[in-house]
Amino acid sequence: MGSDGAFELEAQARSRESSRIATFGLFGNERIGRIFAYLLTIYKCGLDIPEWEDYVEGMDEGNKIAFVAGATGYTGQNIVRALRRRGFDTIAHIRPDSSRLESWREEFIAGQARVDTTPWDVDSLQETLRREAPALVFSVLGTTRSRARKRKKGGGDPLEETYQAIDYGLTRMLIQATREAQPSARFVYLSALGAAANTRTAYMRARWQSEEALRESGLSYTIVRPAFISGADRQEFRPLERVGSVVFDGLLALLGLLGGRGVRQRYRSIRGPDLAEAMVDLALDPHWDGKIAEREQLVSTAPSLPASRNNR
């Protein structure tokens, strides 16, 4: 890209960010802000109302296929829904050994997503990605300590359910398969705020290692680092995480009133549906190629409108 093209792209990105800030600052309501952003686009286009697909930037018109690894998790389910709302042919990957395989299959098919149960090995993943040729690959993989304890209690090997094996091992495998089979795809990785080279926790270490593997892969990528991911609609029972997010958000709100608005924006929790919408936005925005989005950047500009002739 020439210097003029790079300058124009940067200017467009600043314009989008300014519109985003102005919209939410004016209305103070995310849903209204999204709708206003869409109506503003209609205004700029005159009376030729654009289809929602035309509103999406940065997407190859010939490929609206997305692959979601970790689709059965809280964030993964919401990403699948967000992609389907935007008209993507969405492939929800389910671990073939999942105890809820059939119920997950029914749920995703009911939501008009396709289901994939490719085994977790590089060759099989390469074959699937080469056949499906997705433009977007989302990695929202993760495990918990309780799952490791549950596997051990059931007679399985708890080492197969560690942060190193799942959060890093499977993510690295997916990165490798994407690089070999679909190198033109944008890879979107869900990391966590606090991931760093000098981290002392196994969870953050696995996230940092995954980030490093992605940065070194040569793929187009976006890394997303939220703080707490929470929501009343979360099916998985995580009482400590839920209580922690509520208490922490309360403290951050107080800090915001005392002048610490920047700290509040950086560390506050985010609902799964909001995170999913923001991640899809980032995946479609060329400005975010090769960058990290942290909590303060995770604000979706996608309108949430009822079905109509121009929004299907």
Which amino acid, one-letter code, is at 68? V
Query: How far is residue 171's CA from residue 295's CA, in Å, rounded to a whole number?
Result: 21
Mean pLDDT (the chain) is 75
CB atoms within 10 A of CB 126: 18
pLDDT tens-digit profile, the chain (312 residues): 554 444 444 444 444 444 444 444 444 444 455 555 445 544 444 444 444 444 444 455 567 999 999 999 999 999 999 999 999 999 999 999 999 999 999 999 999 999 999 999 999 999 999 999 999 999 999 886 555 455 545 555 444 568 999 999 999 999 999 999 999 999 999 999 889 999 889 999 999 999 999 999 999 999 999 987 876 665 654 554 554 545 544 554 555 555 555 554 556 778 899 999 999 999 999 999 999 999 778 876 554 433 323 333
Torsion of CA 211, 289, 12, 304, to 10 degrees: -80
Look at the chain and report how many structural domains it folds into: 2
3-state secondary structure of 117: coil
Shared domain for 190 and 283, answered yes or no, is: yes
Do 252 and 133 reside in the same domain of the chain? yes
pLDDT digits (tens, 9 = 90+) for 9-58: 444 444 444 444 444 444 444 445 555 544 554 444 444 444 444 444 44
Give domain status of residue 305, yes or no. no
Q: Are residues 133 and 234 in the same domain?
A: yes
Tell me whether residue 17 is in a domain: yes
21 and 63 belong to one structural domain: no
Query: Do residues 131 and 259 both lie within one domain?
Result: yes
* Residue 18 counted as domain residue: yes
Nearby residues of 104 by Cβ (< 8 Å), 6 or more positions away: 71, 72, 92, 94, 98, 115
Same domain, 239 and 130: yes
User: What residues make up the domain containing 250?
Assistant: 59-297
- 96 and 241 belong to one structural domain: yes
Q: Are residues 235 and 91 located together in one domain of the fold? A: yes
Q: Using CA atoms, how far apart are residues 159 and 147, in angstroms rounded to an integer?
A: 11
130 domain-assigned: yes
Beta bridge partner(s), residue 250: none
Three-state DSSP class for residue 185 = coil
Residue 221 pairs with which residues in a beta bridge?
187
The alpha-helical segments, DSSP class H, found in the chain are: 3-27, 30-44, 52-55, 74-85, 101-110, 122-132, 145-153, 171-181, 202-215, 239-257, 261-267, 272-284
**Looking at the structure, do residues 31 and 95 belong to the same domain, yes or no?**
no
104 located within any domain? yes
Identify whether residues 20 and 139 lie together within a single domain: no
Same domain, 259 and 212: yes
CB 142 within 8 A of CB 70: yes
Same-domain status, 63 and 42: no
User: Domain for residue 304, yes or no?
Assistant: no
User: From residue 43, how far is each of 49, 54, 281, 310 by CA, in Å?
Assistant: 8, 14, 21, 15
Flag whether 131 is in a domain.
Answer: yes
